[in-house]
Each structure stands twice: as C-alpha cells, then as structure tokens.
Chains A and B, each alone.
Chain A
Amino acid sequence: MMRDITIGKYYNQDSLVHQLDCRTKLAGTLLFIIAIFLVNRPVVYIPCLLYILILYKVARIPWSYALKGLKGFALLLLFTFIFRSIITDGREILTVWIFTVTYEGVLKAISLMARIMLMVLSASLLAYTTTPTQMASGLEKSLFFLEKVHVPIREMSMMVSIAFRFIPVFIEEVNIIMDAQASRGVDFHSGSIFRRMGKVMPLVIPLFVSAIRRSADLAMAMEARGYSEASERTKYRPLRYTSKDRIAYVIAIVVFVLLILTRIIL
C-alpha cells in the first residue's frame, strides 16, 4: 500500500536539473508558483505547461512518472472543477435542478485546475530532483538570516533532515509489524471500515514505541559523537553556485517576468 507512492519521492538520475544547487531549484519553483497565481488569462497556462514538460525532459524524468504523482490529486481537481463551475455567476450554459453551470465559471474552473496542476507538477519536479538532505541544507542556508532574530534554523534543519531520514525506516518497520501481526491472525485487508480501524492499534502502538526507542538511541549516539547545538556544523558537501546555476536563475527570472507581462499585454 505504502510502497506505491511516487509523489515527492526522489528520482535518481544524472541530469542538468539534478546537478543544480538546491537553492536555485527552490527559488525557481517559488517564482514559477507565484507567477502562475498572478497570471489571469487561461491561454497562458499552455506555455506554462510546455515549460514544465520541457524541464521534466531536461531532468530526464519520464512524464508518465509525473502523471502517476498527479493521480492522487485527481479527486481534488474534479471537485474544484465542479464547484467552481457551479458557484460562479455569469452567462448560463446548463442548468441541472438548482445548479447552474456558467461560462465564466467554467473558465475560472479551468484556470484553477491548471494552477493546481502546474503547482503540483513544479513542486514534484523539485522533489524528484533533490534529495531530502540537499533540500534540508538548501533551506537551512536560504533561511539562515532568521538566526539573527533567534529562530533556531540550524536545529530545525537538523530535525527536518532526521525526519526525512527516518521515513524509509518507518515504512520498512510498518511492513514488518503488519506481517508479524498478520502472522497472529490479523487480516488487514477485509472487514468493515470500523473493524479495520480497530486493527490499527496493533500496528500503531508498536510503531510509536519503536519511534521513541529509535529517537532515544539516536540522541544518545549523536551526543556520544559530540553533537551539541552550540557548535557550528561544517558541511560534507557545501552548497556552491556554479555557472549552471546562474543560467538557471536567468531562465527562471525571464520566465517569471514574461508571465507577469502577460497580465499587462493580453
């Protein structure tokens, strides 16, 4: 069940996008997302989609993989579309009982759907091409100025990277505990929803206990190796911008400006 989730999972590949500094990708994604929310003409979403698809190609991630990640949002997209089309006032296209679909509504619905889709696609591209460790250290460096106002960015980044680090461990753990309880006669795959909810306890309690045990062990191991929040941490792979990053920044900014300009020109 948990083995099939593709959204947000790092996709190992050697590509230009993978080589970029995490901060570049972070900034690029952010700029793009801001831009697609400022765009007010549905037509503009077509070049946006093209831009993202090209980036996927450059990152050498199959489109089918990206599509699989979008599947989880299908229901959300559908509901957005239906509600947007119904609740907007305007010229009437179709009336079913008390619901009226309007021309303006459909247009707005398409825009909104496109926005969500593009946002998910661009954010997943970031996740597919950046390992959680890179992400954490990129965020740490980008937000480091907040340390000046006593926000413990370093510790938070440490916690985030540890949390990421343990996701596969816990997935593995859940699978083992499920197998073990299945060996004691629990059938996780049948019964009504209430009966199934009752079966969660033999799964959740051991998982919690193991999480607590693991964190206590890890804390001790870290202290044993001299970890202290007071000292400055050095990086094994320090983040450094290269010429590729400069080019990527230029592209991201140009795309951003072009998208904003469509508001004025069109």
Chain B
Amino acid sequence: MLIEVEKLNYTYASSEKEKVHALKDVSLNIRQGEFVALVGSSGSGKSTFVRHLNGLIKADSGDIRFQGESIYQKKYPISKLRQKVGLVFQYPEHQLFSRSVLADVAFGPRNMGDSKEEAENKAKAALEKVGIGEELFEGSPYELSGGQMRRVAIAGILAMEPEVLVLDEPTAGLDPYVRNQLLNLLKKMQKSGVTILLVSHSMEEVANYADRVVVFNSGRICMDGSPEEVFADKEKIRKAGLEMPQVMEALWQLKEQGIPVHEFTCNEKTAICQIVDIIKKKEA
C-alpha cells in the first residue's frame, strides 16, 4: 500500500467561538498507480484532506503512512515527502512569481537540492509534457494566457518528479481543449506508474478518467468504489450534494421510460452501443 490514512480527525476554529470539524475519522488506502477521484460538495473536506497528504496540515488525531512509514513520527523528512507527493493547488497560476517561465518551473527542483542545470533539465521536460513550447521558456509567466499559466504552474510540480500527484480542481476555468489535454496527460502519467489523486467537481471527468471514486460528505468518506459502483447509488449521490454523470443520468431516465437498460455505465461508447442494441432488437 502506497498511502494508508487511518482515522484522521481535523478541527479548526472558524471564529472565536465556533469550531469546524472538517474531517471525521477519515480512513483511506491508496495503491500505487491508481487514479483516484475525490468528489464532494463544497466544504465537504476534500481540499482539507489533500493538504494532509504532504504534511501541510497536521491532523488532530489519526495517522498517515506513506510507503509504510508514518509521516507523523519524529524526524520524518517532510521535505522529501513534499517532493514525492506533489500537490497542485486550486488556481495554481496564482503562485507563479519568477522572472521567466523556466526559472519558475525549476524552483521546486532547486529547493529539493538539484543543481541549476539538473533543475532546468527537469523543468524543460515538465514543460514539454504540459505542451509549453520552447519559445516561451524565457518569457515572463505573467505574459501568458490563463490556460498557459495553469499549465506552467502544474509543470512546476511535475518538475519535482513526484510519485504521487495530487491535484485540487486543476481543470476549473480551463477551456475544453486544454482541459482534455491535461486530463489525458494525467492518464498518461498514471500509465507510467504515477499515482494520481484528482479533486474534481465535474462528474464527467471523474467518470471518464478515474478508476476509483471517493465521495466526501461533511467531513466523512461516504462512498468508495469504481465509478460504476458509486454512481449506481443515485440516492446516496444526491445526498452528498452531487449529480450523476450525464451518460448515467440519461440511462436512468431511459429506464424510467420503460426501456430495458440493464448496464449502467459511465462510458459513452458502451452506453451508445447498448442503446443501439436495444433499438435493433426492437426493430427486429
């Protein structure tokens, strides 16, 4: 097991008198090479949870083991952990600061102790992955378009060559083309052995890219399984403040209309084949 989270609890004070219990007994195991989507309505604790994974927030109680070792034990090298578990924040482009794109992306590897040359090589590789052309390397990151800035910021994390990549709503506000490019990149990275944790509000993204869906509801994990398993429970999904992916929703509505749908899938192609089959059977 790559990451083992055991009974994590976290509370913070929202004002002088009020306390928010953001995570309640959250336990989760993540295997190497998985593509896990974390979903849940706003304020359900997903973002708080991912910040525990690289030690930015320390839980009140509970334990997190990375590659078998508790990250809460004394003298655990937190900086090593942050290199291995790369965390991409919401709107990561707001954290760009260097004079040139290349220097900004090389910032992470430099902090990890790489030489300038090594860091720049890693940065170049990362920028190539996210599709930023060489002609932009020496320009200011603030002169780029929004989508390009986002990709540069993500490259800043990729350049540290993490084993686990955690992304908090990386596609928010991106145009469809860049969004698909980014998601395909994540899928490709998964195939090369990187574990991906994706926080998302788009059920389509989740259904199409993730192997496993974890649903958060007011600080607890309320569902955990493959997209098909999770989205099969319509009632629970509603309760968590979420919606079905469109494909699944369409299949459900067809069933309600009396059409004999038997397989509830999130995959567009499978769904269409199924509907075509039903139509063909009817005609025959």
Contacts and interface: CB of A to CB of B under 8 A. Distances in A.
Interface of A: 11-12, 176-177, 179-187, 201-202, 205-206, 209-210
Interface string B85-106: 0110100101111000000000
Contacts of A186: 111
17 contacts: A176-B94, A179-B51, A180-B95, A183-B56, A183-B82, A183-B89, A184-B95, A184-B107, A184-B157, A185-B79, A185-B82, A185-B83, A185-B108, A202-B95, A206-B95, A209-B97, A209-B142
Contacts of A176: 89, 94
B15 interface: yes
Contacts of B160: 184-185
Given A183-B89, A184-B107, A209 B94 contact: yes
A186 B56 CA distance: 12
A65 to B, nearest CB: 9
A210 B94 contact: yes
Contacts of A202: 95, 97, 107
Given A182-B82, A205-B97, A12 B16 contact: yes
Contacts of A185: 79, 82-83, 108, 111-112, 160
B157 A183 contact: yes
B156 interface: yes
A45 to B, nearest CB: 30
Contact of A184 (B15, B16, B108): B108
Nearest to A186: B111
Nearest 8 A-B pairs (CB), nearest first? A185-B111, A205-B97, A184-B108, A183-B87, A180-B95, A180-B89, A202-B97, A179-B56
A239 B121 CA distance: 63
Nearest to A209: B142
Interface of B: 15-16, 51, 54, 56, 79, 82-83, 86-87, 89, 92, 94-97, 107-108, 111-112, 142, 156-157, 160
Contact of B96 (A11, A179, A206): A206
Secondary structure call for the A interface? helix
A11 B16 CA distance: 8
B94 A177 contact: yes
Nearest to A13: B16
A202 B95 CA distance: 8
Query: Which of B94, B108, B156 has most A Cβ within 10 Å?
Result: B94
Contacts of A201: 97
A184 B89 contact: no
A82 to B, nearest CB: 35
A206 B94 contact: yes
A187 B92 CA distance: 19
A177 B93 CA distance: 11
Given A186-B111, A209-B142, A181 B95 contact: yes
